[in-house]
Structure 1
């Protein structure tokens, strides 16, 4: 579009324009009055004069050519992106400019679509003025996301969740040495997975995540020991199930007191290890739900586990009425027992999900939070596992159940893995009686922010400078990835940049650029010289 620099409010501009018009009239009048000119020469001279006048008029008005150019957009592909995927994204977005980190020139483009995640940090820092979008790319059978608990308690369920693009139907599994902890069949295509197992080791633990025969990565976490507790069994007549459990608890360093009611006013007590305090966990059956000791334990925030259920629906109603819980079960089979795993059966009922409760993964056992914790087990008998020599399975069952009944540990920390060296990570700490304003994690000092609801719970941010195990709260540890899971680490880097950049470009879009082009002074000079020279030469040629 052509526009002119013409100030209508300036009288001098109007005066100059009038003089230019008068100049045209004078030129035409003198040319037409010259009778010595032939018709042909008069036409030539008239044309030359009009051209000169147009140059003068143009110089006075200063025409401007306004050009609207569309914003330039580029597809910036990472080194990890194959050419076929680049072309696919380019065609779908209708973007012609496809560049790489080596050929990218930030001055040429107003908006950029990042494809992939293999970008050096210095390249991302050069995109401050561009509108940025990000399309991640992951190779087939490459981890797209994965997470697990960095610190767990022994017996607690460790859960590894993630997603990947499976190239074909295959099996993913968690391996501890030659032992398969859990496995899952994956369909072809984008799929999520969840593998879980009860933590059975102590301290630093490593397991391998294996896809078919390929090790994707090593899952590292820290297992803290269960705190030695005091258990009290309140039963009418102790059976083999409760005696086996009490003996197992005692051998694991816990204090156990077995109270058997022989008649209305007569009871018998058996102690394993020394009992020097009130019980932390009570193990009983539904007939004792209204027992004064059981009610007092719940009121004090302790845990109660009900075993040996016979009629789960009626038993749950009895427990709910006595302790204020909301436990519900539903019958799922007419068989007397249903299998849970090899050598382990349960009553033919399932847990109905309700609020404030946790179902033990893999087992029909539920723990509901009221004033304390109320647990109900639908397992029939677990002692046959012990008698058959499968102590590992027995340990796995009861470690998983009792881990949910444990009181909150002092100075416990929750960190989501994987933790990457060089990234800011979150840590949540609980039950720190001293309420320190800062804590030490490795070489980093972490400023803690306490919850207004729970004064003993706090969270903070930390950064690990190098890969490897790092101490946490003296007795715990977490592992920082270095070269492990590179695609996920790169994704976190690009995602963090994109999120930080989003606030700056909020409301921004790739807008059109408008440029104004003026004729330079030397062009006007050339035009004047050419026109005047033509008017001077024309009479000579005649």
Structure 2
């Protein structure tokens, strides 16, 4: 009927309405006649409306810009509106398989060529080098939730022999089960910690490397490898130690012998009377140490002395010693004793010696690692904690050794004067650990690394890698024997930035003239949660600096003809016919 001209449809329906109305009037039973006539008119009118092409005019905003969407790892499919006005893209083949409506791109340059006004990025986002390819395109970022797993991890990339490897980080456990984090080396578990379900927990794992060189440990979550932990363990260069003692004693004797047997170069000066000294030399040629001078002190890395010996120095020696610490980086280890003289060496160290019964032998915590061998009589003297000091040894809540920065050097202060008791009891490990920590903290820092490398983000195989390099000269740089062109910092003369890439994971080599440095490239499937966190942060920074500045979207208001929905007329026709049928049945 809709193909017929409207006037024919209207005429036919008018005739039908008239005939049906006359038939209703001629019926003998006049009950509900008015309602039957209304039902007839409604039924015929609804039929006419169904047949007629009824339309109405309206204004609609026609958007001239299609929404451009880029899907990245971690996106939520329910958050993406897939309509005719949305163009969906991805760079990931796995996402293309999971979301077939997305168009797979070969590169981000295809998006910049499309010149979309705003790019909507869903998921974890893009890495820094990928964001730089967007050519300042405005971005609206719709990040995924916080990644599950190891979201951050830090450790010292370089250690000296004897130092402990400390791996610290944060694990986000979104599961309902406990997760066991295990630090492994050579397929052997070295330390572990358990993370509770539905929790974000800081963790700390440690071990002491048994070898030197380029080492690689691993972090596992239960049985799943999370990532490699590369460490460069460097042998310790023999330190030069000057020992000053006010009188002979067991503590001085045992320390001198231990230092000599462990390769330290030792010069020892012991007072026997006023201005008269006994001197000894181990692993070091004899020299005049009867008077402290700048040239003499410059030959040593650390001075170890009891407080009496150090406070008895004349004014000239005291001045020279202080200048070497402040300006030359010399370190001093001070052993507290009964002297009541005050010295600049005590600045920042407050000693408390409460009266009463002497403290019982205690286990000593050394550099946050509890002694496992033997207890030690510590006496009642202890250091009062100061914000400017770093605790090195303690017994319970009592600080027994601490370090403080003094100019370019460090002063270490300890109240222990009987550590030789460890050696007498056979606890050589505790003795070595204690003095290694104190000497390591105090000793003059020698910069024996002409090249220092750091990274803004995790260096991953197959991706551009940005190396921040500190070097002392402008010789040519090469990565794995391939030349690179570094860019020098405008503000820091020895800082350079170089871009590189490698297709092999593991240790890599950076060469600057005759100097070498090693760095590690990770497989792409390691530290996935850290990579996700880096992408989220980088994309947020980019989106904040490249927002969509258009306040009103480009749209056109246009008058359009809209079809009236037929469903309403079908309902009216059905209702009118149902009423007439029921009425007819009732009258029979």
TM-score, with structure 1 as normaliser: 0.64
Please give the alpha-carbon distance, in whole angstroms, between the structure 1 residues aligned to 2:386 and 2:466: 32
Map of 1:135 onto structure 2: 143
Please give the alpha-carbon distance, in whole angstroms, between the structure 1 residues aligned to 2:68 and 2:446: 53
Contact 1:131 1:508 in 2 (8 A): no
Shift in Å, 1:261: 1.1
Is 2:249 the partner of 1:249? no
Q: 2:509 aligns with which of 462, 471, 475?
A: 471
Q: 1:420 aligns with which of 450, 460, 466?
A: 460
Map of 1:354 onto structure 2: 387
Is 2:156 the partner of 1:149? yes
Contact 1:425 1:462 in 2 (8 A): yes
Map of 1:308 onto structure 2: 335
Flag as ranges the 4+ runs of structure 1 deviating above 6 A.
70-75, 96-100, 106-109, 118-124, 329-335, 450-453
SS in 2 for 1:469: strand
SS in 2 for 1:149: coil
Q: 1:399 aligns with which of 436, 439, 447?
A: 436
Is 2:309 the partner of 1:288? yes
Map of 1:489 onto structure 2: 531
Q: 1:172 aligns with which of 181, 199, 223?
A: 181
Is 2:313 the partner of 1:327? no
Please give the alpha-carbon distance, in whole angstroms, between the structure 2 residues aligned to 1:395 and 1:460: 41
Please give the alpha-carbon distance, in whole angstroms, between the structure 2 residues aligned to 1:449 and 1:360: 39
Map of 1:232 onto structure 2: 242
Please give the alpha-carbon distance, in whole angstroms, between the structure 2 residues aligned to 1:326 and 1:487: 43
Contact 1:151 1:415 in 2 (8 A): no
Please give the alpha-carbon distance, in whole angstroms, between the structure 1 residues aligned to 2:132 and 2:227: 27
Shift in Å, 1:412: 4.4
Provide closer, same or farther for how the CA distance between residues 112 and 302 of structure 1 changes in structure 2, counting only shifts above 3 A: closer
Aligned residue runs from structure 1 range 18-97, under 5 A: 67=61, 69=63, 78-80=72-74, 87=78
Please give the alpha-carbon distance, in whole angstroms, between the structure 1 residues aligned to 2:436 and 2:452: 19
Provide closer, same or farther for how the CA distance between residues 157 and 510 of structure 1 changes in structure 2, counting only shifts above 3 A: farther
Please give the alpha-carbon distance, in whole angstroms, between the structure 2 residues aligned to 1:338 and 1:294: 36
Map of 2:556 onto structure 1: 515
Q: 1:263 aligns with which of 273, 279, 283?
A: 273
Q: 1:377 aligns with which of 386, 409, 414?
A: 414
Map of 1:59 onto structure 2: none
SS in 1 for 2:332: strand
Map of 1:104 onto structure 2: 102
Question: Which ranges in structure 1 are unaligned for 5 or more consecutive residues?
Answer: 1-62, 520-542
Please give the alpha-carbon distance, in whole angstroms, between the structure 2 residues aligned to 1:147 and 1:375: 27
SS in 2 for 1:289: helix
Please give the alpha-carbon distance, in whole angstroms, between the structure 2 residues aligned to 1:424 and 1:322: 48
Please give the alpha-carbon distance, in whole angstroms, between the structure 2 residues aligned to 1:460 and 1:119: 18
Please give the alpha-carbon distance, in whole angstroms, between the structure 2 residues aligned to 1:462 and 1:121: 11
SS in 2 for 1:374: strand
Please give the alpha-carbon distance, in whole angstroms, between the structure 1 residues aligned to 2:344 and 2:432: 31
Q: 2:446 aligns with which of 378, 389, 408?
A: 408
Map of 2:291 onto structure 1: none
Shift in Å, 1:303: 2.7
SS in 2 for 1:165: strand
Contact 2:147 2:533 in 1 (8 A): no
Shift in Å, 1:514: 1.5
Provide closer, same or farther for how the CA distance between residues 371 and 217 of structure 1 changes in structure 2, counting only shifts above 3 A: closer
Shift in Å, 1:279: 1.9
Q: 1:298 aligns with which of 322, 325, 338?
A: 322
Question: Which ranges in structure 2 are unaligned for 5 or more consecutive residues?
Answer: 1-56, 104-110, 288-295, 395-399, 561-588
CA RMSD of aligned residues (A): 4.7
Contact 1:149 1:415 in 2 (8 A): no
Map of 1:436 onto structure 2: 474
Contact 1:136 1:491 in 2 (8 A): no
